[in-house]
Structure 1
């Protein structure tokens, strides 16, 4: 299933519009199929996370390099789709919540596994969810808020671009989203 979403991403990676925005628009059958794929994967990872939380899995499960690699690829490919779905349906409009306040455990846990394996500190904003920060930036009302948050986001993106451990085929660098900055 990761291969299918990677192919979906590559198909929409021409720089004019990227897979996050294409998915958010939902205009083609392929977008619907990607959404079904997203929901299936979410269900699987939610079960895995619940098993980890209940301690139904061996202690070494969370530090397995194969699991960390798979979980990281999953997070980097699928979280932008979850963010697109969240903002496409305007889920936070009625409650005032943002994606980041409602971020699913499947991404928080898999991010922590990656950061633990690579000896980095946990950061709320990571390479797979920065599009949520961009979406939220567009809702700011004052220039001061926008400038402060924009500078923070741009610095993070530059850091990720220079980090050899982060830059790979699964990392989301949508030109059209970044051009909004």
Structure 2
């Protein structure tokens, strides 16, 4: 358990470096949109551009507008060529998850992130989930939508310190229980 706690402290440093990399990416010049998952660290939070030939499918997800209002993000699953994975584009937020978005495609500028992750914490522990696809969060919303909150590296959780403390507490509790068991055994052995 102590080794697991030490490992979590190491992961804390690695995650902090990754978040710093993401923050630095915000200031780098635009790059080509990564078509395949997983999204490389050098692409996360970079500006990019996607040419959507047509929208194959729409979906709505819980989200927030750039002004901080809760709502539903409208995500277009775009066709970008004759074949290939296409692109996911978050075109903005509305209060209605069923709102019809009058947008059929075009060139979109935005910030690269990943698609929403719907796996539960328990599910992530016991199953190998597929890598999340890249998604572009549009800088300018589609007509009738409010701009989605831009991806922010500070939203990437770094809770490895809490996990480390948890493992050290477990190790301490195990040591106390073991010590109590040894004392009880020695008392019962000396009384016979």
Sort the TM-score into its range (normalised by shorter chain).
under 0.3
TM-score of the superposed pair, with normalisation by structure 1 = 0.24
Greater fraction of residues in strand: 2
Structure of greater relative contact order (alpha carbons < 8 Å, 6+ residues apart): 1
TM-score of the superposed pair, with normalisation by structure 2 = 0.23
Greater fraction of residues in helix: 1
Considering only CA atoms, is the larger Rg found in Structure 1 or Structure 2? 2
